[in-house]
Amino acid sequence: MGADMAKTFLSSDVKIDGQLKSNGDIEIDGEVKGQIQAKAIKVLNSGKVHGTLTCDTLTVDGEVSGTVGANDLSISSTGIVLADVQYATLTTAKGAKLQGQIKVK
């Protein structure tokens, strides 16, 4: 029986400048500048990330800028992605904003 990976949550009052790495999931409601690597990353409504994101699954309800590498990228109606993006599958809701160099893996 495998152990479940812990979910890391960064609340809206948290600001990080640096590198985050997790074998599990990271939910971001605060601000991060730097590199993030995780199995799954979710940028919540008030979350802002500027940097390099590498993950299997990226869900964006807030704002992401920089460079994104994700197998499964999902941008909600409130999501804004201003980045160079490489993805395998892409899902966008009506109202989602996506701008940058876009490449399919």
Residue with tokens 């995780």: 38
pLDDT at position 6: 79
Statement: the pTM of the whole predicted model exceeds 0.85: yes
Mean pLDDT on 57-66: 98
Own/partner pairs for 78-82, CB < 8 Å, 24+ apart?
Answer: 78/45, 79/43
Looking at every residue in the chain, the average pLDDT score rounds to: 95
**Total domains in the fold of the chain:** 1
In a domain, 74, yes or no: yes
In a domain, 1, yes or no: no
In a domain, 41, yes or no: yes
In a domain, 2, yes or no: no
Collect all residues with Cβ–Cβ distance below 8 Å to 43 and sequence separation of at least 6: 28, 49, 58, 59, 60, 61, 62, 63, 64, 79
In a domain, 32, yes or no: yes
In a domain, 89, yes or no: yes
pLDDT at 1 over 70: no
* Residue 44 main-chain phi, psi, to 5 deg: -75, 175
Boundaries of domain holding 57: 7-104
